[in-house]
Structures are given as structure tokens and as C-alpha cells.
Structure 1
Amino acid sequence: MIQLLGISKNVSQEIREKFNIRSKKLKEEMLKLREFLNEVVVISTCNRTEIYFNCDNTEKEVIDILFNSLNWECELKKYIFHIQDDKVTKHIMELASGFHSKIVGEDQILGQIRDAYEMALEIKSINGPLQRLFQQAITCGKEFKNETKLYEIPVSYSSIAVNKAINQGVKRFMVIGYGDMGSLAVKYILSHNIEKLYIVVRDKSSVSDMEDARVEVINFQEKNYKLAEVECVISCTSAPHIVLKEHELDEDKEYLLFDLAIPRDIDESIGLRENSELYDIDRIGLIDEENKQLRKERMESKRYVIEKHIEEFSEWYSLRQITPHIKKLKEAGNQVASDRITTYNNKFSTKNHKELANKLIKSTSDFYVNRAIEVLKEEKLKGCEEECLRIIEKIFMNVQN
């Protein structure tokens, strides 16, 4: 049974932080969960913690397993949701297409789903229906992206932050962290007419491909010396602690700050300064409502893409349940052919006769077995496979009912 445990919508950033699984520990945690579950994939981002798994345990059993294994506090159970089978299929197809992103239509989640899938493949935590589901979801997300062309209405955390800063006349930036969000922010910033951009990283060699003259890569020790030169700070590290404190800022200087990290990178008290404006992920999500609505309308008009992929996976998953019966049918067909060929060979010694007999008998057997399989699949999709299977087994496998 395919199941999903996730964090309910509209849960505050403070609560989401309690469920966050750090990227460095993700493989370790998935391997621990794999000991109890048939398959498992974890999507853990700054906005989302979702655990997809395949097992036959009850809802209560799996929730207890997950909370115990991940050391989550029991009182947090009221903030989760748990769904199964068809609802999981619908959820992940919509997720891959951007329907559940904090900023609707944001396609960064598709890359995060792909990363989670590839990690699960690497550690061998998927090898069945869940593997197929993620393959289908990634394909769905790609097709949906191509159909909707949402890049014509650009919205993402990084682009919102940069666009707001540019609209306020900012020319000098600092980006702290150079992961997915950081690199996107840098890309957006450099697409505008800016004067200076400092990129703060722990290891300067991680930004070795940066050749723009406006860019200077610095380490955390140099950060404080450069803060007095910038107007806007965008922080998006994976650090478990605050990386920008109030006392590090020039007290007489105005700052526009965007904290795109979970847990938070920027000291909340900075937002209380009269000469500073601080946006965290929740506040950024409120920006650009008009673009959001336009994206929603375009996405809804292309929902048929999602419905198609849901149907394709559901058919595969349903037919998968009769795979053992199909195998038995093929074995029975092979046995019928083998028996007839043996009988024919005993009667005719001429080589040409034998070859002809082999082909004729095998093709006859294949024809009827393949037709039986085809009918069984059709009846399965109609929900009428039981009676059909009873008849086929009686004909081909001599099963008496």
C-alpha cells in the first residue's frame, strides 16, 4: 500500500522547523526507515517534509514508526496528514506540477522531487510501485511545465526577493549561501543592472565558475566587513543556526533583508529596526498576489495533463496486481506447446516437419494465451476480473472451482 505522511498546510514556519530533516542526515534517516518499510522516499526542503512509503501497516502503526525513528515529539502529530493510494498519486502529480508550492506554480519542487528520487535509488530504498510513481510524477511535472509555460509569469522566492529589491532601487547586494536558492538569486541579480554583488560561502572554490566583474566571492570571516557596503542581503544557507545577527549590521544604514532559509538565517530582531525591512519565507509568500492568480488560472486550464498521468499510473498499479496470474498463464501456454511439440516429434522424424510443427503449435499457443491475457487486463480495469480469471484458469490451467 502506497502511503504518505506530510505536514499540514498553513502550519507556521516555527512548527515546520521542528519536522525539518537536515540534508546531511537525510540518507541516514531514510536507511533507518527502510528497516521498517518496503520502500521509502523523503522530500525534505525549507518548506516541506513529506515521507512517501510502501507498507501494509495501519495508519497508527506507521505514524508511530515514523515519529519514533525520526525522534519527532508526539504532540506534533496534530500537525500532520496521512493519505493512501489514489490520494497519494493525485498529491504527488499535483506537487510535481507546482500546485502545492507556497508560491503556486514554482517549478523548483520538480528538481527537489527528482533529487529525492535519485537519492532513494542510490541507497536502494525504492524498487517497486513507489519507484514507478516517482518516475511518473517527474514525467508529469516536465510535461506540465512545458504545457503551461509559467516562465512567462515568473514567480519564485528568489525572484520575488530580487525583483522587490530592484524595484526599490537597490544596486549593491550580498547573497549568503550558494545552494539552489542562492545560485538562483545570484542568477536573477546579475540579469539586472547592478553595481556589486558579494557571495558569501564557506569554501570559495565552490563558486569557481563566477567570472562576472561585478561579483566578489568572500568567506564568512569577510562578511561583516562588507555589510556596510551593501543595501540588500539575501540569505539562504542550510545552517542550523543564525548566520546574520543584529550587531553585525551598520546601525545607521538602511537594509532590505530576505531570509529564505529554514531554520532561519537572520536574527528576527533585525526586523524591528526602524531602518531595516526583513522578509522571511512566510512574508514573501504574500507578495505578488496578481501573478499568483494568473498562474493559478493557467495551471487549472492544463489540469488534463495531471489527470492523464494519474490514469496511466493507476492503470499500471491496478494491472500489477494480476502479474502473478499472467505469469502462470504464460507458463501454462509454454507447457501446452511443449507437450504438443513432443507428441508431434515422436510421430514425424523429418526435420522440416519438426520445424513446421514447432512454429505452428507455438504460434497457436501464443495466440490464445495472449488473447486471454488481453481480456483479463480489460476486465481488471473494469473491476470484473474475478469471474474472468475463474474461467481462464479453468480453461488454461485446469483449476476446478
Structure 2
Amino acid sequence: MALLTLGLNHRTAPVELRERVAFTPERMAAAFAEIRATTGASEVAILSTCNRTELYLAGDDECAPTVLRWLSGFHGLDAAELEEAMYVHRDADAVRHMMRVAAGLDSMVLGEPQIFGQLKDAYDLAHEHGASGRFLSRLFQQTFAVAKRVRTQTAIGENPVSVAYAAVSMARHIFADMSRHKALLIGAGQTMELVARHLAEAGVTDFLVANRTLERAQALAEARGGRGIVLSEIPDYLREVDIIISSTASPLPILGKGAVERSLKQRKHRPFFMVDIAVPRDIEPEVGTLDDVYLYTVDDLRQVIEENIRSREGAAREAEHLVSAGTEEFLGQLRALEAVSTLKQFRERAETLRDGEVEKALRALRNGGDPETVLRSLGRGLTNKLLHEPSVQLRKATAEGRVEVTQWLRELHQLETQDHEISTTSERL
């Protein structure tokens, strides 16, 4: 069985394309059903974040073009446009890529920890929809183990350089005294919990959290001494806030140009600082054209992030070694499993031949045959049956010049190499 990873990320595609390829929670069930039915993949997992969309598949090694056609059709995109931004990894490269992703080595923010949780969610979702089997399950478990080694054995996660941290760092460039400004967080997931923590560390004490469900908004807001509201209430409170950071899974924009324009009229040129971390975007791009609005997307955070990455480069090199070791470990496990399967078939075949010869001997004994003669015949018959097919294949391989088969046979059965005989034969040839 072949492993295939097909995807795009912040390096290969702009946010405008990434948001069109993102999978919303509402369409995940249909995606799992369609991809397995139309591409021939036996196992599938889907990772969809603001910075990447990746499909992990176990099945036919040649199914990449089929998967690409399905992906473009599912999202209503031109296949040629999508193909330019896509990358494909197979087998060992696919294993290594997944481990690098889990360890944060392929992230916009080197070593960022959120991707580990997102990858675990992707695995859980695939399992929930019955789309993952033994192959992907084994791969994900090994990947998680390697990512944990990277976290515990290197310093790659010591300094905060996440997207959430970068967003707050940009806000500090706009506002000299963060304690004097109120923040609106749109969304209440893990990323927004990080944003809230970094804002609080920067001095912000006044929080408003908007979410689709009020309970989650209140839970996050109250942890920081703020207030929770539902998404529909955002226009009512917009004029009160200065910092707006958004990250939801909404397929459509939550904050539009009209609502921001109306709030600006009431704010008397007090600026808005906005960071839209979501993909698809939560804030209409046209909002950025308004005066007194500083709107940034995840792609705009790149410069801030790159400035903070240098401190993690040494740890990243150590992490790469751990990933390489983890990849070889997993591939070794697969080879061992293949050996177990082969040995099982070999034993079953030998037992079938044995049972046939034993049954023949028992019939001879029941018919009054001499026991010694029957036993000798049993031994010869069993030896001939066991060695016939290997002998035929060995002669065929030798004739084709595949001398390694002979060497393997000698190693398997611990046969001594007859150097004199071989050298004499070579001289004759």
C-alpha cells in the first residue's frame, strides 16, 4: 500500500487561493464520502488550517491526478490553477513531511505548537468518519510520538513566535500603551485563547469576545475579566473597541465594510487595528481600503514572524534529525510488518504441503505399507515439494543475472560459500 500526501500551504499559495480550498466543518462528511468513492483511496485524513490544506491518503500510488481532479471539482476551482500550487509527496517523503508538519518545522511560524493539535483533530475526524485504517492510524501515532520528542528534546518551542503572538506584536507597533485600548476577539478557539493570553501579557485588560455560541464566548471572556457576545451583536459594540482579531471557521465574512464605515463615523478618526487570521477570511478585504483602518491577514504577519524565527533555527536543526530518525523508524516498522505477512504466507504454504504429504503417508500405512518405506517416501516427497518452486525460481533468477537471489538464499539458510567452486566456474566462463 502506498502513502500519498497532496496539498498546498502558505509557501505555495496566497491566502486568496487557500481560503477557496479550505474545508469547512459542514462539508467534511461529504468530502470523506466523495474522495473515497471517486479516487480509489482506501484511507483518508484531511488537514485544513489557515495556512495549509493537506490530504493524507493510503491506496494506489497513481491516484494523485484523480485526487487533484476531485479536489478542484469539490471546491469549484480550475484544476490547472490548483495544480500550480499543489505539492505531492509519496511514501518515505510523505512520512517525513507529515512529521515535519506536526513538529512545526513546515509552519509559517517555525515550531509553533498549534499545528500539533490541529493534526490530532484531523486524525480524530478521519477516525470519526471511518476514513482512517490501520495504515494511517499507525502513521499518525508515530508522527505524534516524534512531534513530542521534538518538543521535549529541543528548545524549538521556548520563545513565543506563533501567529497569535505576531498579531499582538503588530498591535503594539500601532498602540504605544496597550492598557488604554479595548480588544474584540472574534472566535473562541485555541488560537483566540492564545491571542487573549498575549494581549493580557501586553497590558490589555478590557476584552470583548464574540462567538457563534454565547457559552464559549463567555468562557473565554470571563477568564480575562471581559464579556461574551454572539456574532450578530458585533455591530452594536464595534465603535467601543480598538483592536480586532478574528479567527473562526465561518465560510463567509463576519465583518463587512458597511458595519466598519458606520463605526468609524462615530469614532472621530480613532483607528482600528484588525488582524484576520481566518481562512476563509472573516473580515471583508474591502475593509482595508477605509481610512483609519489597519487590516492585516496571516500573510502580512510573515515579516514579524521571520524576525523571531532566528532564535529557533538551532533547535530546528536538532528537530530535523529527530524527524529523520522517526521516519526511518516508521519505515522499519512497515518493513517488519511486510516480513511478518510474507512469513505467514510462507508458513501456511509449507503447512499445506506438509499436510498433503502426511495424508499420503497415512493412506499408505492404512493400506499395509512398510512403515520405514513410507517414512522415507514422506521425507523425500516433502523435501521435493518444499524445494521445487524455490529451485525453479533460483535457476531463473541466476539465468537473468540476478545473482543477489543466490546470495540471499545462502544468507537465509546460512550456507557456506564455495569459493573454490565459484572461482573455477568463473574461469571456465
Aligned residues: 354
**Distance in 2 between the 1:135 and 1:227 partners?**
44
**2:46/2:54 contact within 8 Å kept:** yes
> Relative to structure 1, is the Cα distance of residues 320 and 279 closer, same or farther in structure 2, using a 3 angstrom cutoff?
same
1:174-228 per-position Cα deviation (integer Å, ceiling 9, x unaligned)? 0011123222222332344323100011221224535347301112333222222
**What is the identity, as a one-letter code, of the residue corresponding to 1:27?**
A
Shift of 1:265: 1.3
Q: TM-score, normalised by structure 2?
A: 0.74
- The DSSP-based 3-state class of the residue aligned with 2:17 is helix
Instruction: Summarize the alignment of residues 235-314 of structure 1 with structure 2, pairs less than 5 Å apart.
Output: 235-249=246-260, 250-251=263-264, 252=268, 253-314=270-331
Task: State the superposition RMSD in angstroms.
Answer: 3.1
1:136-169 per-position Cα deviation (integer Å, ceiling 9, x unaligned)? 1111111101222334210111121123324532
Please say if 1:30 is aligned against 2:23.
Answer: no
**What is the identity, as a one-letter code, of the residue corresponding to 2:138?**
R
- The DSSP-based 3-state class of the residue aligned with 1:153 is coil
Please say if 1:176 is aligned against 2:182.
Answer: no
- The DSSP-based 3-state class of the residue aligned with 1:322 is helix
Residue 397 of structure 2 corresponds to none
Residue 60 of structure 1 corresponds to 65
Q: Flag as ranges the 4+ runs of structure 1 deviating above 6 A.
A: 332-339, 391-395
**Distance in 1 between the 2:30 and 2:240 partners?**
42
Residue 226 of structure 2 corresponds to 215
More helix by share: 2
1:47-84 per-position Cα deviation (integer Å, ceiling 9, x unaligned)? 11111111225243443344445654323222212221
Q: TM-score, normalised by structure 1?
A: 0.79
**What is the identity, as a one-letter code, of the residue corresponding to 1:193?**
G
**Distance in 1 between the 2:19 and 2:92 partners?**
29
258-267 or 221-230: bigger deviation? 221-230
Which among 125, 131, 138 is matched to residue 131 of structure 2?
Answer: 125
85-94 or 127-136: bigger deviation? 127-136
1:266-307 per-position Cα deviation (integer Å, ceiling 9, x unaligned)? 122332333221111100122143311221232113322112
**2:162/2:305 contact within 8 Å kept:** no
Residue 6 of structure 1 corresponds to 7
**What is the identity, as a one-letter code, of the residue corresponding to 1:231?**
D
Shift of 1:231: 1.2
Residue 418 of structure 2 corresponds to none
172-181 or 285-294: bigger deviation? 285-294
1:108-146 per-position Cα deviation (integer Å, ceiling 9, x unaligned)? 111111111111222221223222111111111111012
**Distance in 2 between the 1:195 and 1:392 partners?**
72
Residue 344 of structure 1 corresponds to none
> Relative to structure 1, is the Cα distance of residues 69 and 283 closer, same or farther in structure 2, using a 3 angstrom cutoff?
closer
Unaligned stretches of 5+ residues in structure 2: 357-402, 415-429
**Distance in 1 between the 2:126 and 2:317 partners?**
31
Which among 93, 103, 128 is matched to residue 97 of structure 1?
Answer: 103
Shift of 1:94: 1.0
- The DSSP-based 3-state class of the residue aligned with 2:304 is coil
> Relative to structure 1, is the Cα distance of residues 107 and 43 closer, same or farther in structure 2, using a 3 angstrom cutoff?
same
Residue 380 of structure 1 corresponds to none
**What is the identity, as a one-letter code, of the residue corresponding to 2:240?**
E
Shift of 1:104: 1.6
**2:4/2:61 contact within 8 Å kept:** no
Residue 391 of structure 2 corresponds to none
**What is the identity, as a one-letter code, of the residue corresponding to 1:7?**
L
**Distance in 2 between the 1:91 and 1:310 partners?**
9
Which among 20, 23, 45 is matched to residue 21 of structure 1?
Answer: 23
**Distance in 1 between the 2:211 and 2:273 partners?**
20
2-11 or 228-237: bigger deviation? 2-11
